[in-house]
Chains A and B, each alone.
Chain A
Amino acid sequence: MNTTVNTNPLVSIVIPCYNGELFVKKSIESALEQTYKKIELIIVNDGSKDKTYDEINSCKNESVTIINKPNTGVSDSRNIGMQHVTGEYILFLDADDVLEPDFLEKRVEILEKDKSLDFCTGEIIWIDENDQLIKMPKKQFGIYENTVLNVAAFNPVFSTCPSAYLFRFSTIKKKHVLFNTKISSPADRYFILELGYGAKGDYVKQGGKLLYRINTHSMSHLFSKKLIFDQENYFYEVLKHNLLRPHEKAILIKKMSYQMFASFFKLKMYKSSLFYLSKYLKSFFL
């Protein structure tokens, strides 16, 4: 197949996978069937207890590296996968998502054309367990600079799904950015914030879509204690590591305090709920 890109940089695709026997093969195949061919796949089997290993193994070829390790979570698995990356660009593909064939081609083209860019994202289509299209996102993530706060405060119209992003690996290395292992579900959001204000991105206007699977079993779509605790940790990690400017930080505290107040109330954890209510009320006077 022809590529429209003249230069030929290596793209590394890191796929963390825990108990992903149902969809992992589809993900891997969508990566291997890209029109852009210069790729390496680093698949991190995060201590899966199902048939993931066999599924991955059946896709094995010279561009695929398989790392088998005990289960430590998605953030740690992505970080470990990153240690094996030799490419110029990196994509963290979730094991249930699927790439359109021109996904890499379009992104590499943009990033090669403008070397000042740190990442390139693109359109996302939501699919269900049976690959059926279920809903289109309202708005796409555009230029980074204006959207930090929206990303930080979970504005639903801004997607931080890592599978949609192709990053310039030198930027990640230069900034020593890692996935925060203290959080799981919002770890991708945090990762993008960590790249910081200086990071510059663009997006693919047409084609090169990501098929993002909305899995009814996936933790990021169920309201649970674990998820709220996870979001709470995310909130504190963002504050602790000063990822926002002061005025944005103040808005985040207000928004998150309200969200935590409501969530803990729903969980019937009234003491915590009250704590965030007072934090929320206090935020009006700061």
Chain B
Amino acid sequence: MCGILGYISNVNKITREEFEYSMQTMKHRGPDANGVFVNNNASLHLGHLRLSIIDLSTSSNQPFFSQDGRYVIIYNGELYNFKEIKNDCKIQTKTSGDTEIIIESFAQHGSNSFAWLNGMFAFAIYDLQENKLTLCRDRFGIKPLYYYFDGNKFAFSSELKALKNMKGLDLTLNKKVFPDFLHLGYIPFPNTAYQHIYKFPVGAFVEIDLNKEKIDALNFNYYWKLNEQINRHTVSDEEEVKTELKRLLEDSVDKQLVSDVPIGTFLSGGIDSSLITAIAAKLKSNKIKTFSIGYEKNQYNQYNEAQFAETVAKHIGTEHYSLTLKEEDILPILSNIINTYDEPYADSSAYPTMLVSKLAREQVTVTLSGDGADELFMGYGMYNWSNRLGNPFVKTLSPVFYPLTKIGSNKIKRAGLLLKYPEDSTHLKTHIFSQEQYFFSEAELEELLVEPVINLNTLNESISANRHLTNREKQSFWDISNYLVDDLLVKVDRASMLYSLESRVPFLDNNLVNYALNIDDSLKHKNGINKYILKEVLYTYLPKNLFERPKWGFAVPIAKWLKTNLHFLIEKYLSKQCVEKYNIIHFNVADDIVKRFMKGEEYLYVRIWSMLLLHWWLEENT
């Protein structure tokens, strides 16, 4: 796991020093070594920051050349099937690392080889003979990749901050994406907060010909598409699924435990992380290290999540490290969400992820996490909403119900907002997501925004699949392609890399995902139980009674703080002066929302948090 950076231009060349300056802004991604490659006429710079995980020797340092000297690679990620590829392609290697396998299989088979890679990765390969660069990213966006393109200059990087600090790039803001941010809490693919910077598509690669003076439009080729993995028939036999799922999970965890440095797991005590930990403990001969954090009990918190984790850890027999926090412990890292994520990003669970990463890094260099399971196995309540709202009967009656919900409790008011969904039901997926996550609905945004232009059509495009998908499946596949890529995996990558910790996600193994996409909906949600089949697999490792309690997330008490310790942020960033300076939202509408919140409509706190973060970010970045 590392950081990569590249810059291409035949017209606007930069110096090595300028390039290195930009590269150093990502030092946290790779503190162990770094290297730069510049081609003959300096039209290309490639840079790499290394965090050593597999083959710790300097012979695996990058940029790394193919044996024939024709290709050079910079690569961020881990390949879990590199030994199989080495064997199948009969590659004779000089190192014991995965980098060499990627470049040699590319040297043999070109871009055909990308579809064979099972892992998390973003890499660039330069062909010195043809003067051509190929850039490629993994299937789910586990590893980040951003690119800058204005026709003359092309640059790419693991994090936006390197591009923001590169000489000569046009960093004009892309104001059109702010409505999306207020609706979803993140800026969705392909955009970023900057007009010329984009998110690189997942499961794709692009080739750039450096022989041409100007770079033409970019043509992305896809070596993997989610909808193409959806079979005509689902698997619905419970015993068969349980057995196969267990096999695939064990296989994935086993492959992901390969590391030449200490490895552990994040353990919240919930379903996903407990399952990963139980399997890891079973497969590893020495005791596995686990990490969790929780708040100390107080008047607001009945539970300390760390207790659940401790119980599970004890049962599995891990070497457990837990940190009990006071809520106030988060305050000093509050501004991290602005600096670490580089563009407006409102997922407050980034804070506990940062803290647990910091804790883990004191003991290990690599952790496994349970991300992806909620989307693949339908762990969220919103999947049930998608079924309800997709029901034509509910749709017809919603105009009748909606006015009634305005006079009820906060809970009913929230449900009412869910019912008030766009006329154009093609926006149902983003609507359900935004309301499940307490963000602004499209209807609210129309009142709030100075220029109410919201374009959610592309984001809501229905996937063309081989079989008829249930509403729940549609919503969960949308999550896998959007929420997971642009929010959850971004959260984990940036939070862990901030402390130079590599985080791996066993649920996103290729084979496991391909299988999970085709498990019948009725096994993912059965007898009113979400993630039913995954829980059944879990109970083959751990007793059921350890998990008989409500789902309890690690909540950051933003709502409480916005009324107390953090109220000054509202006064600062949602002041009339600040709001009118950027002229994105109407001050009076925002102010009204703040007043309603202060009077007791608690559920508005995420909306306020997102408006506040947007203005905070703008103040820091313009």
| Segment touching A, from B81-89, B328-336, B408-416 | B81-89
Q: A80-B109, A232-B232 are in contact. Are A70 and B85 (CB under 8 A)?
A: yes
Task: Flag if B233 contacts A272 (CB, 8 Å).
Answer: yes
Q: Is B115 an interface residue (CB 8 A)?
A: yes
Q: Is B457 an interface residue (CB 8 A)?
A: no
C-alpha gap A67/B90 in the complex (Å): 9
CB distance from B190 to the nearest CB of A (A): 27
Q: A229-B231, A229-B232, A233-B232 are in contact. Are A71 and B88 (CB under 8 A)?
A: yes
Within 8 A of A (CB), among B111-126: 112, 115-116
CB distance from A43 to the nearest CB of B (A): 13
Task: Flag if B466 contacts A229 (CB, 8 Å).
Answer: no
Q: Is A4 an interface residue (CB 8 A)?
A: no
Which residue of B85, B115, B228, B232 contacts A236 across the interface (Cβ within 8 Å)? Answer: B232
Which residue of A69, A83, A269 contacts B88 across the interface (Cβ within 8 Å)? Answer: A69
Q: Is A53 an interface residue (CB 8 A)?
A: yes
Task: Flag if B89 contacts A70 (CB, 8 Å).
Answer: yes
B110 (CB) vs chain A CBs: closest residue: A83
Residues of A within 8 A of B81 (CB): 70
CB distance from B151 to the nearest CB of A (A): 30
CB distance from B510 to the nearest CB of A (A): 12
Q: Is A68 an interface residue (CB 8 A)?
A: yes
C-alpha gap A188/B116 in the complex (Å): 23
Residues of B within 8 A of A182 (CB): 228
Residues of A within 8 A of B116 (CB): 69-70, 72
Q: Is A162 an interface residue (CB 8 A)?
A: no
Q: Is A47 an interface residue (CB 8 A)?
A: yes
B113 (CB) vs chain A CBs: closest residue: A69
Task: Flag if B88 contacts A47 (CB, 8 Å).
Answer: yes
Task: Flag if B112 contacts A80 (CB, 8 Å).
Answer: yes
Task: Flag if B89 contacts A68 (CB, 8 Å).
Answer: yes
A66 (CB) vs chain B CBs: closest residue: B90
Within 8 A of B (CB), among A55-69: 67-69
CB distance from A271 to the nearest CB of B (A): 10
Residues of B within 8 A of A53 (CB): 90
CB distance from A60 to the nearest CB of B (A): 13
B81 (CB) vs chain A CBs: closest residue: A70
Interface string of B62-77 (1 = CB under 8 A from A): 0000000000000000
Which of A69, A72, A229 is the most central at the interface, judged by chain B CB atoms within 10 Å of its CB?
Answer: A69
CB distance from B587 to the nearest CB of A (A): 53
Within 8 A of B (CB), among A205-258: 229, 232-233, 236
Residues of B within 8 A of A83 (CB): 112
B233 (CB) vs chain A CBs: closest residue: A229
Residues of A within 8 A of B231 (CB): 229
Which residue of A68, A71, A236 contacts B466 across the interface (Cβ within 8 Å)? Answer: A236
CB distance from B375 to the nearest CB of A (A): 25
Tell me whether chain A's interface is mostly helix, strand or loop, or mixed.
mixed
Residues of B within 8 A of A80 (CB): 109, 112
Interface string of B214-246 (1 = CB under 8 A from A): 000000000000001001110000000000000
CB distance from B223 to the nearest CB of A (A): 11
C-alpha gap A229/B85 in the complex (Å): 28
Task: Flag if B466 contacts A69 (CB, 8 Å).
Answer: no
C-alpha gap A269/B235 in the complex (Å): 11
C-alpha gap A127/B242 in the complex (Å): 42
B118 (CB) vs chain A CBs: closest residue: A70
A53 (CB) vs chain B CBs: closest residue: B90
CB distance from B203 to the nearest CB of A (A): 15
Residues of B within 8 A of A72 (CB): 115-116
C-alpha gap A80/B105 in the complex (Å): 14
B466 (CB) vs chain A CBs: closest residue: A236
C-alpha gap A71/B231 in the complex (Å): 20
Residues of A within 8 A of B89 (CB): 68-70
A228 (CB) vs chain B CBs: closest residue: B233
Task: Flag if B233 contacts A70 (CB, 8 Å).
Answer: no
Which of A47, A53, A80, A269 is the most central at the interface, judged by chain B CB atoms within 10 Å of its CB?
Answer: A47
Residues of B within 8 A of A69 (CB): 88-89, 109, 112, 116
Within 8 A of A (CB), among B450-468: 466
Task: Flag if B88 contacts A70 (CB, 8 Å).
Answer: yes
Q: A53-B90, A236-B232 are in contact. Are A70 and B466 (CB under 8 A)?
A: no
Which of B88, B115, B116, B228 is the most central at the interface, judged by chain A CB atoms within 10 Å of its CB?
Answer: B88
C-alpha gap A113/B28 in the complex (Å): 69
C-alpha gap A69/B106 in the complex (Å): 11
B85 (CB) vs chain A CBs: closest residue: A70
CB distance from A81 to the nearest CB of B (A): 11
Task: Flag if A68 contacts B85 (CB, 8 Å).
Answer: no
Interface string of B86-98 (1 = CB under 8 A from A): 0011100000000
C-alpha gap A206/B116 in the complex (Å): 44
B116 (CB) vs chain A CBs: closest residue: A70
Task: Flag if A68 contacts B88 (CB, 8 Å).
Answer: yes
C-alpha gap A126/B81 in the complex (Å): 40
Within 8 A of B (CB), among A27-67: 47, 53, 67
Within 8 A of B (CB), among A79-94: 80, 83
Residues of B within 8 A of A236 (CB): 232, 466
C-alpha gap A272/B90 in the complex (Å): 43
C-alpha gap A182/B465 in the complex (Å): 13
C-alpha gap A141/B228 in the complex (Å): 34
B117 (CB) vs chain A CBs: closest residue: A70
Task: Flag if B90 contacts A68 (CB, 8 Å).
Answer: yes
Residues of A within 8 A of B109 (CB): 67, 69, 80
C-alpha gap A68/B90 in the complex (Å): 7
A79 (CB) vs chain B CBs: closest residue: B112
Residues of A within 8 A of B112 (CB): 69, 80, 83
Residues of B within 8 A of A68 (CB): 88-90
C-alpha gap A121/B85 in the complex (Å): 37
Residues of A within 8 A of B233 (CB): 229, 269, 272
Task: Flag if B232 contacts A70 (CB, 8 Å).
Answer: no
CB distance from B483 to the nearest CB of A (A): 28
Residues of A within 8 A of B228 (CB): 182
Residues of A within 8 A of B90 (CB): 53, 68
CB distance from B83 to the nearest CB of A (A): 11
C-alpha gap A152/B90 in the complex (Å): 39
CB distance from B519 to the nearest CB of A (A): 16
Within 8 A of A (CB), among B152-202: none
A68 (CB) vs chain B CBs: closest residue: B90
CB distance from A161 to the nearest CB of B (A): 26
C-alpha gap A69/B114 in the complex (Å): 12
C-alpha gap A189/B54 in the complex (Å): 46
Interface string of A152-189 (1 = CB under 8 A from B): 00000000000000000000000000000010000000
Which of A47, A69, A70 is the most central at the interface, judged by chain B CB atoms within 10 Å of its CB?
Answer: A70
C-alpha gap A71/B118 in the complex (Å): 13
Residues of B within 8 A of A70 (CB): 81, 84-85, 88-89, 116
C-alpha gap A83/B111 in the complex (Å): 12
CB distance from B119 to the nearest CB of A (A): 13
C-alpha gap A83/B110 in the complex (Å): 11
C-alpha gap A54/B138 in the complex (Å): 33
C-alpha gap A236/B232 in the complex (Å): 10
C-alpha gap A53/B89 in the complex (Å): 11
B109 (CB) vs chain A CBs: closest residue: A69
C-alpha gap A26/B115 in the complex (Å): 31
Residues of A within 8 A of B84 (CB): 70
A sample of 13 inter-chain contacts (CB < 8 A) reads: A53-B90, A67-B109, A68-B88, A68-B89, A69-B88, A70-B81, A70-B84, A70-B89, A72-B115, A182-B228, A229-B233, A236-B466, A272-B233
* Apart from the given pairs A53-B90, A83-B112, 10 other A-B contacts in the complex at a CB distance below 8 Å: A47-B88, A67-B108, A68-B90, A69-B88, A69-B89, A70-B84, A72-B116, A80-B109, A236-B466, A269-B233
User: Footprint of B on A, CB under 8 Å?
Assistant: 47, 53, 67-72, 80, 83, 182, 229, 232-233, 236, 269, 272
User: Footprint of A on B, CB under 8 Å?
Assistant: 81, 84-85, 88-90, 108-109, 112, 115-116, 228, 231-233, 466
The 7 A-B residue pairs whose C-beta atoms are closest, nearest first, are A70-B88, A47-B88, A68-B90, A70-B116, A68-B89, A80-B112, A70-B85
